[in-house]
Copies of this chain bind each other. A is one copy, B any other.
Amino acid sequence: MTGTKVKEDYVDVLIVGAGPAGLMLANWMSRTGVKTRIVDKRGTKVFSGQADGLQCRTLEILDSFDFGHRAWRESNHMIEICLWNPDKDGQIHRSHRIPDTIPGLSRFQQVVLHQGRIERFFLDSIRQHSDIDIERGMLPISFHFEEAKASDFDAYPITVTLQSLTEQEATPEQSGRSVVNDGLFRSNLSPDDTADLLDAARLRARAGQTEIIKAKLMVGCDGAHSWVRKELGFQLEGDSTDYIWGVLDIIPVTDFPDIRMRCAIHSAHNGSIMVIPRENKLVRLYIQLQSEVEASGGKVDRSWITPEVILRQAQKILAPYKLTYTYCDWWTAYQIGQRVGDRFSLMERVFLAGDAVHTHSPKAGQGMNVSMQDTYNLGWKIASVVKGRCAPSILKTYESERRTIAKQLIDFDYRFSRLFSGRPAKDIMDEEGISIEEFKDAFEKGNMFASGVAVDYGPNLIVAKEAPSLEQVDDTTVANLVETSPVASKQELAAEIKVGMRIPSHKVLNQADARPWHLQELLRSDGRWRIIIFPGDLGIPENLARLTNLCEKLDNKNSFLRRFTPQDLPVDSVIEVLTVHAASRESVELLDLPQILHPFTDTAGHDYWKVFVDDQSYHEGHGNAYKRYGICSNRGANVIIRPDQYVSWVGESDDYDSMDRFFSAFMKVQ
């Protein structure tokens, strides 16, 4: 083969790793039209086991890509957590019931569905919206970075050589006793995964070939043993010891009453179990195998761990209740610490995301969620820089925003794990034991964090916050490098639309057809920024005057809407203007409102899908959006929402100038 020219390809983005983080990023790219390749050294997607909890925030995100309903329908919904503890005689009993998802937090609740299905939804979505192909059995073998080109976004500073693997090389090794139950490996294959199996043939055809990729940007979503991270020379920092836990995914045969609830069961002397009820009659059990391992830094011997050993331990903890099974879908055991990456990016050209920059224990159900949310944060930023809409400076916010979250995750997991693995207190004098009240408090507080809704990004170029609270400041110097927005928010105008957090969702009605929508349903993840005008009650002349005044400025040919939108694209292509007013629906005629609120074209007529009203619906009640958002209908407010539904700015309903300055700080004139 000497003399054959090696194939070379130029791409905007190279994604290494096609797990949840990589697929979320590829999905963003598919929606924004960015030239992308995504490679994974494994031959197929995940078929069973692995991470499976979906936070309500993750469901909101999947829904913004139009496939949240698939997860919602197929998954098991976890509604209640039952806490079981020893009574005076040392026998376990149900001591508390608490809701799994705090009521009112989101329109979704936490659910469980195995990772393979989530990946399937992403694959379907990517195929539907683009020609991006998930290239399996492709191993990156060399990496070169030209620093001199890092500030030029027309240049390709990254060179990666890819090697095609054989089918055998690309198949994860079934390491006999400790990974998957081989005979059952294909048992929960869904029909639409057939295509994955056919990929094996493609692998054979191209095995041994190499290819050179020249990329503008690269993202390592390649897991805890990240090749990209090693090439960059970045480190994971933190504690690498933990307790040992076994995991069984089984159809349980048991008389334990709460096997379909999420349970935290603390036995008096035999350790703990967490019960996670799953789809298709399955239940996942996390079972504590020994109370603690020496924090010596060395790995313990795991060869004694078998499903039988794990089951026997579970039976001890659950006694006097019985537990057996005939069907086991998957099992594993783990001993893992909490670690976080020291850096998330090389010069905003190479990024790390997901397990490549944070590892922790699986019990809190956070792993897949935080990983997907890393690239949900990063994807739209990359797209807007690659397409020349925004300045590269916004890419710095990825590390400052997500490293803070990763550290919070690690801290949460550290506390949660210790609490969970600790021995229950015998009585109030037992200071080493963990009291049930302490545990319940921690569980309830943990639920807020675990929902994903509590994420609160600190002030930066695209989060117009006045002053950071302490916990939002990263302890690295990165945060200080990020520019801050030139404008200030007036948070009090919409007290519950918190700058830095995702906008909560309440129902509003379409002015033109009276259909109720959850506000978040209008904020599709398509790469667009949004201004939501809350003009207040339009029956108040001052409010109507303010709205008219604002719209005149927005409609001006030099407005920021026009300046930052390419001339050949519709006016709402970069920044979409939505309106939610507070007059009664019947008192307002859509076409009487300024035309910029319902843009008109000769082919499609008026746009009937941009003006909404906070009013009573016929079939779904009253959303009371103004009240719940803390907006006064006499005064109104304006809100700037990022393409990822996080709130950038809150201000006066006619404050055109602040919005102009906000966008001008990072958007490029087209």
A residues sitting closer than 8 Å to B (CB atoms) are 69, 73, 76-80, 97, 99, 101, 103, 109, 128, 191, 251-255, 257, 259-261, 277, 281, 326-327, 510, 512-516, 586, 589-591, 602-605, 608, 617-619
Of the candidates B103, B277, B281, B512, which one forms a contact with A618 in the assembled complex, judged by CB atoms under 8 Å apart? B103
Beta-carbon contact of B619 and A101 below 8 Å: yes
Q: How far is the CB of A44 from chain B (nearest CB, A)?
A: 22
Question: Once the chains are docked, how many angstroms separate the CA of A101 from the CA of B294?
Answer: 66
Tell me which residues across on chain B come within 8 A of A591, comparing CB atoms. Answer: 255, 257
Beta-carbon contact of B79 and A514 below 8 Å: yes
Question: Once the chains are docked, how many angstroms separate the CA of A326 from the CA of B76?
Answer: 47
Q: How far is the CB of A437 from chain B (nearest CB, A)?
A: 20
Beta-carbon contact of B604 and A515 below 8 Å: no
Beta-carbon contact of A103 and B619 below 8 Å: yes
The 8 closest A-B pairs by CB, nearest first: A253-B605, A260-B513, A79-B514, A260-B512, A99-B618, A80-B514, A326-B603, A260-B608
Q: 18 pairs across A/B with beta carbons < 8 Å?
A: A69-B69, A69-B73, A77-B513, A79-B514, A79-B515, A99-B619, A101-B618, A103-B619, A109-B619, A251-B604, A251-B605, A255-B591, A257-B590, A257-B591, A259-B608, A260-B512, A260-B608, A327-B603
Question: Once the chains are docked, how many angstroms separate the CA of A327 from the CA of B603?
Answer: 7
Beta-carbon contact of A261 and B513 below 8 Å: yes
Beta-carbon contact of B253 and A603 below 8 Å: yes
Q: In chain B, what residue has the closest Cβ to A73?
A: B69
Beta-carbon contact of A251 and B608 below 8 Å: no
Tell me which residues across on chain B come within 8 A of A516, comparing CB atoms. Answer: 79
Beta-carbon contact of B191 and A128 below 8 Å: yes
Further contacts, 5 of them, CB under 8 A, given A257-B591, A277-B513: A79-B516, A79-B618, A253-B602, A260-B510, A281-B604
Q: How far is the CB of A22 from chain B (nearest CB, A)?
A: 24
Kindly name the residue among A76, A109, A514, A586 whose own CB sees the greatest number of chain B CB atoms within 10 A: A514
Q: In chain B, what residue has the closest Cβ to A66?
A: B73
Question: Once the chains are docked, how many angstroms separate the CA of A327 from the CA of B254?
Answer: 62
Beta-carbon contact of B586 and A97 below 8 Å: yes
Beta-carbon contact of A253 and B604 below 8 Å: yes
Q: In chain B, what residue has the closest Cβ to A258?
A: B512
Kindly name the residue among A80, A259, A602, A619 whose own CB sees the greatest number of chain B CB atoms within 10 A: A619
Beta-carbon contact of B513 and A79 below 8 Å: yes
Q: In chain B, what residue has the closest Cβ to A608?
A: B260
Q: In chain B, what residue has the closest Cβ to A108?
A: B619
Question: Once the chains are docked, how many angstroms separate the CA of A214 from the CA of B103?
Answer: 59
Q: In chain B, what residue has the closest Cβ to A98?
A: B618
Of the candidates B252, B514, B515, B589, which one forms a contact with A605 in the assembled complex, judged by CB atoms under 8 Å apart? B252
Q: In chain B, what residue has the closest Cβ to A72?
A: B69
Question: Once the chains are docked, how many angstroms separate the CA of A586 from the CA of B255?
Answer: 17
Question: Once the chains are docked, how many angstroms separate the CA of A604 from the CA of B283?
Answer: 11
Question: Once the chains are docked, how many angstroms separate the CA of A281 from the CA of B512?
Answer: 12
Question: Once the chains are docked, how many angstroms separate the CA of A253 from the CA of B76?
Answer: 46
Question: Once the chains are docked, how many angstroms separate the CA of A510 from the CA of B76?
Answer: 12
Q: How far is the CB of A339 from chain B (nearest CB, A)?
A: 35
Question: Once the chains are docked, how many angstroms separate the CA of A222 from the CA of B605?
Answer: 39
Q: How far is the CB of A266 from chain B (nearest CB, A)?
A: 21
Question: Once the chains are docked, how many angstroms separate the CA of A191 from the CA of B619?
Answer: 33
Tell me which residues across on chain B come within 8 A of A602, comparing CB atoms. Answer: 253, 326
Q: How far is the CB of A591 from chain B (nearest CB, A)?
A: 6
Question: Once the chains are docked, how many angstroms separate the CA of A515 from the CA of B72?
Answer: 13
Question: Once the chains are docked, how many angstroms separate the CA of A80 from the CA of B78?
Answer: 36
Q: In chain B, what residue has the closest Cβ to A80?
A: B514
Beta-carbon contact of B251 and A603 below 8 Å: yes
Tell me which residues across on chain B come within 8 A of A326, comparing CB atoms. Answer: 602-603
Question: Once the chains are docked, how many angstroms separate the CA of A261 from the CA of B557?
Answer: 33
Of the candidates B99, B257, B261, which one forms a contact with A589 in the assembled complex, judged by CB atoms under 8 Å apart? B257
Q: In chain B, what residue has the closest Cβ to A261?
A: B513
Question: Once the chains are docked, how many angstroms separate the CA of A459 from the CA of B254?
Answer: 45
Question: Once the chains are docked, how many angstroms separate the CA of A326 from the CA of B605?
Answer: 10
Question: Once the chains are docked, how many angstroms separate the CA of A260 from the CA of B590?
Answer: 11
Question: Once the chains are docked, how many angstroms separate the CA of A619 from the CA of B77?
Answer: 12
Q: In chain B, what residue has the closest Cβ to A77?
A: B515
Q: In chain B, what residue has the closest Cβ to A283?
A: B605
Tell me which residues across on chain B come within 8 A of A327, comparing CB atoms. Answer: 603-604
Question: Once the chains are docked, how many angstroms separate the CA of A617 from the CA of B80?
Answer: 10
| Contact A605:B254 (CB < 8 A) given known A513-B260, A618-B80 | yes
Q: How far is the CB of A152 from chain B (nearest CB, A)?
A: 38
Tell me which residues across on chain B come within 8 A of A608, comparing CB atoms. Answer: 259-260
Question: Once the chains are docked, how many angstroms separate the CA of A253 from the CA of B591?
Answer: 13
Tell me which residues across on chain B come within 8 A of A103, comparing CB atoms. Answer: 618-619
Question: Once the chains are docked, how many angstroms separate the CA of A605 from the CA of B252?
Answer: 6
Tell me which residues across on chain B come within 8 A of A76, comparing CB atoms. Answer: 513
Of the candidates B80, B97, B277, B513, which one forms a contact with A80 in the assembled complex, judged by CB atoms under 8 Å apart? B513
Q: How far is the CB of A56 from chain B (nearest CB, A)?
A: 10
Q: How far is the CB of A605 from chain B (nearest CB, A)?
A: 4
Question: Once the chains are docked, how many angstroms separate the CA of A259 from the CA of B512?
Answer: 8
Question: Once the chains are docked, how many angstroms separate the CA of A515 from the CA of B617?
Answer: 26
Q: How far is the CB of A107 from chain B (nearest CB, A)?
A: 9
Q: In chain B, what residue has the closest Cβ to A82?
A: B514
Question: Once the chains are docked, how many angstroms separate the CA of A398 from the CA of B169?
Answer: 61
Tell me which residues across on chain B come within 8 A of A512, comparing CB atoms. Answer: 259-261
Tell me which residues across on chain B come within 8 A of A99, comparing CB atoms. Answer: 618-619
